[in-house]
Each structure stands twice: as structure tokens, then as C-alpha cells.
Amino acid sequence: MVANLASAPPEPTGLGDSYRPLAGQFDEMRTSDGGLRPHWQYLIDALRELGSEGIDSRWQEARRLVRDNGVTYNVYGDPQGMSRPWELDPLPLLIRGEEWAGLERGLIQRAELLNAILLDLYGPRSLIDKGLLPPELIDGFPGYLLPCHGAPAPGDRPLVLYAADLTRDASGAWRVIGDRTQIPSGSGYALENRVVLSRVMPSLFRDSHVHRLAGFYRSVRRAMTRIAPRHSDHARVAVLTPGPRNEAYFEHAYLANYLGFNLVQGSDLSVRDGALWLRTLGRLERIDALMRRVDDVNCDPLELKENSLLGVPGMLQAVRAGNLGIANALGSGVLEHPGLMAFLPALCEQLLGEALVLPHLQTWWCGQREARDFVIANLDNLVIKPAGSPAGQRCLFGAKLDAEQRDELIAAIRREPHRYVAQEEVQPSTAPAYINGMLEPRPFVLRSFLVSEQEGYAVMPGGLSRIALDTDTPMISNQLGGLGKDTWVLASEPERQETLIVTADANAPAVVPAVVQESEVSSRVADNLFWIGRYAERAEGLVRLLRIVIIQITERSSLAAEADADCCLHLLLAALTHQSQTFPGFVGEGAADLLAQPVPEVLSLISDQKRAGALPQTLQALGQAAWSVRERLSNDTWRVTNDIERRQRLLTQAPPRGLGRALDLLDPLITSLVAFSALTHENMTHNEGWHFLEAGRRLERGLHTASLLRSTLVSVSPDQGESILVEAVLGVTDSLITYRRRYQAGTRVGAMLDLVLQDEANPRSLAYQIARLSELIDEMPGNSLSTRRTPAQRTLMRVMTELRLAELDLLARPSEGGRRRDALDALLASVETSISALSDAVTAQYFRHEEQPHHLIGQRSEAEALRGALPVTPLAANPAGSLR
């Protein structure tokens, strides 16, 4: 691995001098006799000048940027889950511009050929009628979707996006080892690799004259607009993602942001009147084109895979009606049949009238008798691929099978020959990777990307390279822990600098307005933003209370009266249980023992990630909600989110054993939470989505303040203890400085209630939260146009009236018996009930999805989820977007 780089000793003879190509494999940097290829000279000289220490510092900076930008690639079963960072090798792969031009011609020809085949297979099927393709090859393949036959293809280019996996054979000739035609993924990671590497090595990147990528993404944007049926007007394009649990969700959100498209899930969409619509809070918005990242079989449960929850019922009908363009066309996965390669040379002659320029691996489809006999006779030299299995399924290497496995495979091939494809085994070429302070050769695969233009295809200059960590690995895959690598196509002269911001297209129709109305948010997005606000505020309130509790525990012995200190501490501990909802805690069964020895329980609330309501679970829920709407958060906000996640891991992976260490961990965490709140308030446009985030924040802060006051002040404490308690509450609500300046007569309950309960100018007061909620609810979709008040508006009006009319002297005065403040208890209980009712009213009005169909078998019910959990996101059986 690329680990412990800082401690690795520098190479004594100079960086790269001990680098030796692997026997029998073409190496990108050195010739077989060890000579350095000329186009690598400048890079190696620059790296030698930097030295191991300089390269290490840049690699660490690249890792920091990847982490701060939230670049992840989820490996299923990995303990890090959705937080697994993208791994990037600091050395680029270099390709000469002259060589790239020839490779580009071959890639364009291959895309044109596959597009023509796709048009024929879902159209006249003349290739099958003429005997150029066996019907068993196509009709027996699960990727061929019969319901898609005859569906229109805008501009006769159903293959809008295409990717080819490439490597070199031992002679140095480029070979295609795989075609990605269904949902070609990885272009977003290629762009992020470029952004990071050009930032950590700016002068090296500039002086190397590297071809830029921005032009390719402008072509992608034009292509998506072109396939939209309403491309003459302002077309609305969306990226369809399986959801935040998908392994490449970062890329889906990244591309949606970069291209200016909406990021949607199947539950956000509906087909009505033969068209696809986005469900927003105020109305339905027409979607004209989809860049899908969902496998085609999962896109329409009505006509394709009936148990899919990732698609939209009726999507295929919208395509047939000519109201929706999809990239790539549904059914394009048929082109990923590995056996199709065996027929491509003949098909190229037939369809394009020319020989295939870019060769691929020699391929035999066992459905033909002659090919089957050859495969069985030469099994030791071949790689066997089961056709119809998910892309990236483990291949079988004939040479590595024992006698029993070999016999079983031969029997299976004879039994179902059409299901098996054999290809020659080729050792992939190698490229230099920075491993433990040295350059070492590692096998690599280059994925190159193409997009359709009006006349032909445009090729990304470069692509996504991936390298294996071991020299003898049979497969190169991110799922197996490979590294990403930027690919530099070197120009002969300096490239014109292009911005990464997508600019207006000069060829765009004049009727397209320069400024368009911003899309409203979907119900799912609003729901997640609402809970982001709630989780962020819940975590901040809990941390503030935990800090005060820790201070009270550690300073208890120095307080004036130990009994008074204990009384104050017990009330704060009870408030901690109520705030975190971790009952019984300090208020239920066994509370006496916990109050006598509170430290273990407090530390558990700080670090126990398996405990519902504890701080780690609240922070984790915040991260999951933020991840679900990643495209809505700025880079700065996402960096703070990542920082919060890192601090959560510090709390759980190395739990503090003492209160002093816990306080050291909580102090920077509160800073990060405050920074998150500030960024979402100042950096987010105050549109509909922000209104829900802010409403969630104010609602949660109101509940927290009411619960805190009720837990601490309803019970009457001795004078000295009450002064200590009031000061602690003021510390939790961050109102202590204002109190000291405003009220000169000491610490009094009535004065504190004036500031924390009724002062509508104090951002931490209960009245302020209700006033802000009233404004936010009034501005939510539908409320400003209605002549009648909604249940939420009526609830807020009643609560606001109660708070404004409350008499502070009466609230602060003890009831008969002198042990409780019953008036304060009644008011705060009413406020808590009303705020809970407000939450239910907002949920009922905006977040319910009654129209969305649900299967009755095999699904987790929402009632089983924790209170406030994220909407259940099903995992795809065959996850889309894999970089396998």
C-alpha cells in the first residue's frame, strides 16, 4: 500500500534509477532494456528535484484534498462503508499526443460500430437475419431487453456515452479488454484526479502541456441537451442515481453539480401523461433527459425488473412516447456481452465498410461448436467469462483450476455453451506507482470515455487509469483495493487554459434564456435537509450540555456547598438523559447508582456508537443525511462535514477514559458544528431547501431549550445551588455574557427566563425559535398563497401567544410547598407538545410519499426504523456505477 510514506527512506541512487520493468510486460516508463522513454524525462527530472520528502508532502496534500472534498468509493463489506476514501497515486500516467491521436481514431470507430449494432438489435435485427450474429448470442443474454425493441433513439445515437477499458500487450499495442456501454462510470473520478493532481503539482502540470478535460464535459452537456425532446427550449436534465449507498454515489453528485443537472432518485420521479416528472414541494416539473446511473433492468419495474425500487414505473413508456431521452438507451447493456467481441471485426466490415482499427482480446463464444472445441482443448491458456453475469464477476483462469474444477467447468460449458466466453490471457502493461517512497511497476488499466456529438464522437483526452497494488494480481479493480491515477495526454505546445465551470454554448439556440428559474427541491431532498438541521442542532446542543456537565463534575469539590453542587449536578445529569433520550439513564431505574458515579454513563454518551441517542449516533445520522444531499452542499461545507466525521471516529475508535480527555475532544467538535451551522446559513442560497434545513434547526433548538429549562428549573433548588444551576443553563445556551451585561443584580431565575425564554432578539431563546419558525413556515411552498392558516401555522401562533403573554414573576415563583414551579412546568410542557405537533404537521404536509409504490415482501418497514432515521434506501442487487 501507499502507507507510511513519510517514514520511508529515500532511494539512495536517485528516484527511479532502480525501477525495472517486469519480464514479459510492456512498461510505460522504461523500455525492456531499462532505458527511460523520452516523454517521461521531464517528469522524472522534476520528481528527482523534489526528492522523496517533497513527493511525500505532495502525496499527503493530495490525500488531504481527497478527504476534504469527500471523494469516496464504497467497497461493499468494507468497515469504512460509505466513508472509504478514494485512493489516488500521486504519479500520472503519461501518453504522447501523437500516440493518443491514433488511439482516439480507433476509439471513435469502435463507438460508431457499437452504436450501429445497438440500433440494429433494437430495430430491424438485420445482423441476425443475415447470419452475422447468432440469435442465441443475443436473445439468450439477460442484457437484451425485449420490451425496449422499437424504442426511439434521438438522433440515431442511443449510445450517448461510451467507455473502453484498455491496456497494452507485450509488444506495446493497445488492446480493448472491455466495453462499458450501459452506464459508463468513472469520468467524475477522472476529473477529480485531475483537479487534485494539478493543484498539488501546478508547475509540473502546466509545463507538461497536458490536454485539458473541460471541453469533454461541455460536449457531455450538449449531448444531454440534444437527446432531450424539447432541446429547442430550455431542457431539464437530471442524473438518476440509485442513492447514497451506491459505491460511486460521490461521482453521481459530483457530475450533477459540475454539469448543472438535478440529482434524482427513482422515488423523486413519476410518469404521468406519457412524460417523466420530478415531484417537487410546489408542483411537478418536467424532466426531458436522464443521465442514468441505474442499471437498465432496474429502471422500470412496470416492464423490466418488477421488484426494483430504484426506477420509475412507466419510464419506458415515456421513452416510447418520445417525451424522454435517456443516456444510455435502455437495453444498451447488451453490448457488454463479452462474446460480442468475437464478431466485431466482421461486423465492422459489414456496417462501416472498413477494418477494425483498435484490436481487442481474442475471443471465442462457446455457442459455436468450433469455438467450443477450441476452448476446451486450450483451457489452460484462456480466461473463461460466464456471459450474463454481472459485469466484473470473477473470471476463471484455466491455468489455475485443479482437476476437479476443470472437469466441472468443461461439463458446464458442454451443458450450456451459449453462457460461456473465453478470451486470451494477456499480461497487462505496467506503469510506475509511488510505493513506500520508491517508483515500482504495477499493472494498470486505462478507461477512456467518449460522448456523442452531432457528427461522430468526442474522446476525453486521457481518462481514468487504475493500478493494482500487487504485481501478480489477475484483475485490476477498485473493489479489490486498486489505486486511481490521473492520465496526462501531452501536447506539443501549451494548452489554452479552460475553466472547469460549464459555460454557455455558443451554438446553443438563441431562445434559451440566460437565467432560468431554479428548480424546486423534491420531497426527499427537503426531508433530508430538514433532518440535517435537526441532527446538527441536536449534536451541538448535546455537546454543549456535555461540556457543562463535565465541568460541573470536575469542579464539584471546589464549590461552596457540596450539597448544593450535587443538587445542581443531578438536575443537569437528568437534563442530559432527557436531551439524548437515553432512558432510563439518570432519571429511571438505577438512576441513584448512576448519579453517585456519573462518569461511566457520561463517557458512554460521548463514545458509545452502538447506543441510540448517544453523541456518535447523532453525528453519524448527520453525516448520512448530508451524504444523501451531497450535491446541495458547498465544498467548504463538505470539508467541515468531513471534519465532524473524523472527530466522531476519534470519539469511537479511541474512547476517552477520563473526563479531561473527553473535554479535549468535545471542544474542537463544537467548533466544527458551529462552523457547519454558519456555512449552511451564510453559503446556501435561501431557497426552499434552505427553509427546511433552517426550520429543522430552529425546531430542534426550541425542543432542546424547552427540555433543558424544564429539566433544570421546574424543581426549586437552594439559593446557592440555584445560582450555580442558572449559570450552567446560561452556559449551555451560550447566553452568559449577555446576561452578565444586562442584569446586574446577580443570577436570578426570572432574569434568566426573560433572556432564554421570552427575548425574541436572543438567537438562543425559545421565543426566538418560535418567531423564526413562524416566518419559515409562512414562506414554505403553498403557505404564502393560502387564505387559511395551516395546522402548523395555527400551532405556532398559539405557542407564540403563550410565550408572549406569560408572566415571568409567576413562572419563576415556586408553587405551594416551595419545591416546584408548576406554572413554568405547564408552559414548557405545552411548548414541547406543540413543537412535536409542528414537526408532525410539517412531515405530513411535505414529506409523505403515499403515491410511491412499495413491495410487501422483503422490505424493512419505516416503523422499524429509529425515530428520525433517514428514508430507507434499498440496495441494488447489482449496484450501478461500479469501476470494476
Written as one string, the DSSP assignment of 566-585 is: HHHHHHHHHHHHHHHT--ST
Q: Specify whether the CB–CB gap between 777 and 796 falls below 8 A.
A: yes
Which residue spans within 53-201 are E strands per DSSP?
93-96, 161-168, 174-180
* Count of beta carbons in the 10 Å neighbourhood of residue 783: 15
Query: Same structural domain for residues 713 and 616?
Result: no
Count of CA atoms in the C-beta half-sphere (13 A) of 449: 27
What pLDDT, on a 0 to 100 scale, did the predictor assign at position 10? 40
**Residue 733 included in any domain:** yes
- List, in order, residues 6 or more apart from 449 with CB less than 8 Å away: 161, 162, 163, 184, 186, 187, 190, 216, 459, 460, 463, 464
- Domain shared by 738 and 602, yes or no: no
Q: Are residues 706 and 650 in the same domain?
A: no
Q: Report the number of distinct structural domains present in the chain.
A: 2
Torsion, Cα 624 628 631 635, to 10 degrees, reads 0
Other beta carbons within 10 angstroms of residue 757's beta carbon come to: 25
Q: Are residues 625 and 581 in the same domain?
A: yes
Alpha-carbon gap, residue 516 to 580, rounded angstroms:
44
CA distances from 786 to 345, 521, 523, 797 (A): 66, 20, 20, 16
Distance of CA 704 to the CA centre of its chain: 30
**Contact predicate 348/355, CB 8 Å:** yes
Sign of CA dihedral 723, 724, 727, 729: negative
And the C-alpha cell for 371? 469455438
**pLDDT tens digits, 73-91:** 866 545 444 566 788 899 9
CB 88 within 8 A of CB 96: no
Co-location of 645 and 591 in the same domain:
yes
Nearest in space to 483 (alpha carbons), one of 465, 498, 496:
465
Instruction: For the full predicted model, state whether its pTM sits above 0.75.
Output: yes
**Residue 198 CA: distances (Å) to CA of 48, 136, 188, 210:** 18, 49, 15, 10
Both 818 and 680 in a single domain?
no
Query: How many C-beta atoms surround the C-beta of residue 637 within 10 A?
Result: 21
In a domain, 749, yes or no: yes
| Helical segments of 779-877, H only | 791-805, 808-812, 822-842
* pLDDT score, position 474: 57
In angstroms, the CA 167 to CA 42 distance is: 24
Give the distance, in angstroms, between the CA of residue 706 and the centroid of all CA atoms in the same chain.
Answer: 35
Q: Are residues 551 and 670 in the same domain?
A: yes
d(CA 377, CA 382) in angstroms, rounded, equals 10
Whose grid coordinates read 405551594?
A: 816
Q: What is the pLDDT of residue 479?
A: 54
Classify residue 297 as exposed, middle or buried by CB count within 10 Å of its CB (0-12, 13-18, 19+).
Answer: buried
Which residues are registered as beta bridge partners of 869?
A: none
Q: How far apart are CA 843 and CA 780, in angstroms?
A: 13
Residue-level pLDDT at 6 = 37
What pLDDT is stored for residue 87 in this prediction? 86
Domain end among 652, 684, 716: 684
Cis peptide before 323 (omega within 30 of 0): no
Residue 365 lies in a domain: no
> Is residue 676 domain-shared with residue 537, that is, in the same domain?
yes
Q: Quick check: is 9 in a domain?
A: no
Distance CA(823)–CA(826), nearest Å, equals 5
> For 847, phi and psi rounded to 5 degrees?
-110, -5
Identify the CA nearest to 620 among candidates 604, 644, 636: 644
Distances (CA, A) of 580 to 528, 558, 586: 21, 28, 11
Gyration radius of the chain's alpha carbons: 31
Residue 82 is placed in which grid cell? 460509505
Q: Which residues of 827-861 are buried (b: 16+ CB within 10 A; e: fewer)?
A: bbeebeebbebbbebbeebbbeeeebeeeeeeeee
Output the nine-digit C-alpha cell for 306.
Answer: 418488477
Question: What DSSP string describes 617-638?
Answer: HHHHHHHHHHHHTGGGS-HHHH
End-to-end Cα, the chain, rounded Å: 19
Residue located via cell numbers 412524460: 275
| 768 and 795 belong to one structural domain | yes
Tell me how far apart the alpha carbons of residues 737 and 717 are, in angstroms, rounded to a whole number: 23
In contact, 195 and 445? CB cutoff 8 Å: no
Residues 193/466, Cβ–Cβ less than 8 Å: no
Q: In this predicted structure, what is the pLDDT of residue 868?
A: 33
Instruction: Answer whether residue 459 is part of any domain.
Output: no
Residues 585 and 730 in one domain: no
Neighbouring residues of 821: CB distance < 8 A, sequence distance ≥ 6: 713, 714, 716, 811, 812, 813, 814, 815
Q: How far is the CA of 252 from the CAs of 16, 69, 264, 641, in angstroms?
A: 37, 14, 10, 19
Task: Tell how strand 275-279 and strand 237-240 pair up.
Answer: unpaired
Largest alpha-carbon pair distance within the chain?
101
Q: Using CA atoms, how far apart are residues 587 and 590, in angstroms rounded to an integer?
A: 8
The C-alpha cell that represents 874 in the structure block: 434499498
Q: Which domain holds residue 830?
A: 698-848
Q: Which of 726, 717, 731, 716 is nearest to 746 (CA)?
A: 726
Burial of 455 (0-12, 13-18, 19+ CB in 10 A): exposed
Q: Is residue 87 part of a domain?
A: no
| DSSP three-state, residue 277 | strand
The reply to whether 677 and 631 lie within a common domain is: yes
Please report, for residues 141, 393, 418, 423, the alpha-carbon distance to residue 376 in angstroms, rounded to integers and kept in the order given.
Answer: 22, 21, 14, 12
Whether 688 contacts 521, CB under 8 Å: yes
Do residues 318 and 271 make contact, with C-beta atoms less than 8 angstroms apart? yes
Question: 430 by DSSP, 3-state: which?
Answer: strand
Contact 457, 210 (CB under 8 A): no
- The number of C-alpha atoms within 13 Å of 448 and in the hemisphere containing its C-beta is 28
> Is the residue at 93 inside a domain?
no
Whole-angstrom distance, CA of residue 601 vs CA of residue 595: 9
Query: What span, in angstroms and rounded, lies between the C-alpha atoms of 630 and 637?
Result: 10
Same domain (yes/no): 670, 779: no
Residue 273 C-alpha cell reads as 401523461
Low-confidence ranges of the chain (pLDDT < 50): 1-13, 77, 79-81, 391-392, 500, 502, 506-512, 515-516, 559-560, 849-881, 884
Rounded (5°) CA angle 140-145-147 = 130
The answer to whether 250 and 188 are in contact (CB under 8 A) is: yes
Rounded Cα distance, 96 and 127, in Å: 38
731 vs 725: CA distance, rounded Å: 10
Q: What does the DSSP 8-state code read for residue 36?
A: B
The residue type found at 425 is E
Instruction: Let me know if residue 543 belongs to a domain.
Output: yes
